[in-house]
Amino acid sequence: MTLVSKTFELYGKTYTLESGELAKQATGSVLVKQGDTTANVTVVVSKERKNYDFFPLTVDFIEKMYAVGRIPGGYLKREGRPSDKATLTARMIDRPIRPSFPDGFRNEVHVVATSLVADQVNPIDVICTMGASLAMTLGGVPFEGPLACVRIGRDRETGEFIVNPTYEERDNSDLDLELAGTRDFISMVEAGADEISEEDMLAAMQFGQEAIGAFCDAQLDFVEEWERVNGEIMVKEYPLDQPNEEVHDRIFAHYDEMSAALRDADKLSRIGKVEALKEAIKAEFSEDEQLLWEREIPVNLKKLEKQAMRTMVVETGERVDGRAADEIRPIMVKDNYLPLVHGSGLFQRGQTQVLSVLSLGMLNEGQRLDTIEPVEGKRYMHQYNFPPYCTGEVGRMGSPKRREIGHGNLAERALLPMLPSEDEFPYAIRVVSEVMESNGSSSMASTCASTLALMDGGVPIKRPVSGIAMGLIQEEGKTVVLSDIQGLEDFLGDMDFKVTGTERGITALQMDNKATGLTFDILRTALEQAKVGRAFILDKMLQVIPQTRPETRPSAPRIVSISVPVDKIRDVIGTGGKVIRGIQDETGASVDIQEDGTVYVGGTGESVEQAVERIQLIIKVPEPGEEYTGRVVSIQPFGAFVSLLPGKDGLLHISRVAQGRVDKVEDVLNVGDEVKVRVLEVDERGKISLDRIDKPEAPAGSGNGGGEGERRERSDRPRRNRSERSDRPRRAPGDNGGRTPRRHHEG
C-alpha cells in the first residue's frame, strides 16, 4: 500500500486528503485536513454478521487535548468522557452515514474520528464526514456514497454565503447551517440562525447541496489517483438479510387488522393493541419456525406496521390519531408552574409534555468549556432530560445520552439569538427541560416550554420562540407533508424536520431524511407549512403569557454592574483577596471583577446595595471641602490619623484637634473616637490633610506657657525651602530691617 496525498482548494479554503500511511489494519483509514486542522478517520467492519434486527453502526469522535497543545485537567491527566461538542460531532457523522447502508446490513460498523491538530482557525467537525466517506470507499464498504458534510455561513454585511467558514467568519455570520448527503440528496441538516426567512434558508440549503457535490467530486478524484497507484478498489460483499416471501405473506395477511389497531389516538392504548396483534401473529408460527426465522419474523412485523401506517396517510389523508396532515395536536400551556424557582413553564402538545425550569446566576457561574475549540465558555446553558418514565418504560438513569445532548443543543440554538446581551442582562442563564411525557416532538416542546420559563422569569428575550416537527410520507408515488408528527410518524416516516423560530424568522433547524426523493419543492412546502404551525403554537403560548415579566422573581439573584478604574481593581480585591472576601462575607453578596474594571454584584435583599456601597467607598477619592465622620485609628505625637473610607486615612494635625494649643493629642482624642472632619488638601501623592469640625476647647492646662508641647508642635511643622518663603520681603545687603544692632559686650 503506497501513500497517496492530494491537496485541493474549494471555496477559498485548502483541504488535504491522505491515505496509506496511518492505521493500515483498519478496513479504511483517511487523514483529512482543512488548513492545519487535522483528523484521522477510520472505519472497521466486523467479519461476522450479527443476529440483530437493526443496523449496528457506532460512530465516535475522540477529542485529544494535545491537538491544541494542552494537558487535560484533573488528576488522571488524560481525556475522560466526551464533551458535548464531541458528542454532537459524532452525531453529525453518524446521521448521514446510517441511511446510506443497504437494507439488511447486519455487520457491525465502527467509525472513529480522532482529532490530531486543531489550528484554532478551522473547525474540525464537518471535514470528518468526508473523511469517513472516503475511508469507507477505500475500504470497499458497500454504501451509497461518496458523502460529504459542509457548513454554510452568511456574511452579515455582504449577505454572501461562505462554505466551511473559519471561527472568525462564523462570528460575523447570521447563519450556522450544517448539511450532509450526496451530490443528489440531503440526508442531514442542523442549523442555528438569527431569524432567517424561509426563502433565505432554502437558498442556503441549495447552495450547500452544490458545495456537497464539489466535495464528493474531490473524493472521486482521490479514488482515481488511489487506484492508479494502488490498484482497483473492490467493493466487498457482505451477507444481507434477504426478504423471506413465506414469512412476509403470512404476516401481511393481517394487514387490515394492523390498520385497525393503529387507529387509536392514545399512544399507550395503540401500542398495546399493536403489540397484542404482533404477539398473536407470532403465535401462528410453530416453535421451530420461530427459531428458524427469529430475525425475519420481527423484521416483517415492523414492516407490516410501517406499511399500514404509511398507506393510511397517503390513501385516506388520515393519520393514526385522526388528524389531518397539517393539524396540530391540542395544546396546553402554563406559566409560573413552580414556586420559588427563578422561572418555569409547562408545555403540552398531545401526549408530549415538557416542564422547563429557569435558574439565574452570576456570569462567573456560566459553563467553562475544556475542548479543542477556541470557545472557552458559555453563558447560556440548555439541558434536556428524557427519563424512561416519560414513555412508560423501565430503564436506568445516568449520564445524558447522545440523543439528550443533541435535543438540548437544538433548543439552545433556538433560543440563543433571542437572549439579551450581557450588558443588558448580566446573568448566567440555565434552563433545564424535563420531559414528563413523550409521543414525538419533545425537543420542540422543550423549546416552547423554555421560552415560557424565560418569560416567566423576567429574562428580557427579544421575541418568543416556538417550534414544530414536520414529517414526510412518500409512498406509491404520492408525497404528504405532516405537521406536528408524533413518535410513530417519526419512526416509520421518511423525514424528521424540526423548525424553530419567532414571528420574524427561523432560529434553528434540524432534519434527518431517509427519502432519496426529497426535492427542494418539498422542502419549501415543509418550511411554509412549519411557519403556519409555529405561528399557531406561538399564539397559544402568548394567550397565557403575552410578554416577559417586567422583573425577575424575588427568589432570583439581583445583579447590577458598576465600573471601577483599572488602577483601583487591586484595592477592591485586596492582598490575597482579603478585601473582596470581606465584602462578600459581611454583605452576603457575590462580587465578580473583570479585567476591564467591570464589577458584577449579585445577591438578594439589601446585600447588593451594601456591597456596591462598600466598593464605591473603596474606589472613591476624597476631595477638598468634603466632610466625613471618621474614626481615629492611630495617634502620633504630631497628630491623629482618621479613617475616612475603607483603605483611606487622613492626618488631623495636633494644631487642629481643638481650639487652642494642645500639648498631647491624647488630651483631646483617643483611638476609636469618632470625629467629624473636613478635607483640606489632597497632595499629588494622595496624602490627605484634615481639619476638625466643631473643635472643642483645649483642656485647661494643656499646652499653657508654650513649653514642650509647643516646641513639639513647631518641630512637627513641615519645613519650607528658602524658595517657598517668597512672601517674606528680602533685605538688601547690610539692611537690618530697621532693628537696633546687637551690642557686643567686652570682657
What are the grid coordinates assigned to 527, written together?
418550511
What confidence score (pLDDT) does residue 745 get? 42
Paired strand residues for 332: 348
Closest CA to 642 of 661, 659, 627, 664: 627
The Cβ of residue 258 has, within 10 Å, a number of other Cβ atoms equal to 23
Nearest Cα residue to 126 out of 146, 162, 150: 150
Q: Which residues pair with 191 in a beta bridge?
A: 177, 509
Residues of the chain with CATH 2.40.50.140: 627-715
DSSP 8-state assignment for residue 282: H
The pLDDT value given to residue 646: 78
Domain 4-230, what architecture?
2-Layer Sandwich (3.30)
Please name the fold of domain 558-619: Ribosomal Protein S8; Chain: A, domain 1 (3.30.1370)
* Cα 574 to the center of its chain, rounded Å: 33
**Rounded-to-integer distance, Cα 290 and Cα 293, Å:** 5
What is the phi-psi region of residue 737: left when phi exceeds 0, alpha when psi lies from -120 to 50, beta otherwise? left
Judge whether 163 and 10 are in contact, CB under 8 Å.
yes
Pick the closest to residue 112 from 51, 27, 178, 37 (CA basis): 27
Tell me if 496 is assigned to a ligand binding site.
yes
- Would you say 456 is a known binding-site residue? no
Q: Give the CATH fold of the 331-391+402-544 domain.
A: Ribosomal Protein S5; domain 2 (3.30.230)
pLDDT below 50 — which residues of the chain? 705-734, 737-747
Residues shown for the chain: 747
Strands 37-49, 648-653: pairing is: unpaired
Cell numbers found for residue 573: 480585591
Q: Are strands 478-483 and 57-62 parallel, antiparallel or unpaired?
A: unpaired
Angle at 617 (CA atoms; ends 612, 621), nearest 5 degrees: 140
How much is the pLDDT for 708?
Answer: 44
pLDDT computed for residue 674 by the predictor = 92
Q: Cα(662)–Cα(673) distance, rounded to whole angstroms? A: 17
If one counts every other C-beta atom within 10 angstroms of the C-beta of residue 577, the result is 10
> 627-715 — its CATH code?
2.40.50.140
Instruction: For residue 578, give the C-alpha cell.
Output: 482579603
Residue intervals of the chain classified under CATH 3.30.230.70 are 4-230, 331-391+402-544
Half-sphere exposure of 352 (CA within 13 A, CB side): 26
- Give the three-class secondary structure for 228: helix
Distance CA 731, CA 735 (A): 6
C-alpha cell at 463: 421575541
Per the DSSP assignment, residues forming a β-bridge with 476 are none
Q: How far is CA 627 from CA 40, 623, 630, 688, in A?
A: 71, 9, 9, 12
Measured CA to CA, the distance from residue 108 to residue 123 in angstroms comes to 29
Selection from 475, 472, 509 nearest residue 493 by Cα: 472
In sequence order, what E strands does 264-342 have?
A: 331-335
Q: What is the C-alpha to C-alpha distance for residues 164 and 149, in angstroms, rounded to an integer?
A: 9
What's residue 267's pLDDT? Answer: 84
245-316 in CATH: which number? Answer: 1.10.10
**What is each CA distance from 182 to 128, 213, 676, in whole angstroms?**
15, 7, 83
DSSP H/E element including 298: helix 296-316
Helix axes 245-252, 296-316, angle to 10 degrees: 50
Domain with CATH 3.30.1370.10 in the chain: 558-619
What does the pLDDT read at residue 703? 62
Q: How many CB atoms lie within 10 A of CB 427?
A: 27
In the chain, CATH 1.10.10 sits at: 245-316
Helix 402-415 to helix 84-97 angle (10° resolution) is 100
**What are the distances in angstroms from CA 213 to CA 133, 179, 311, 317, 740?**
13, 12, 34, 36, 115
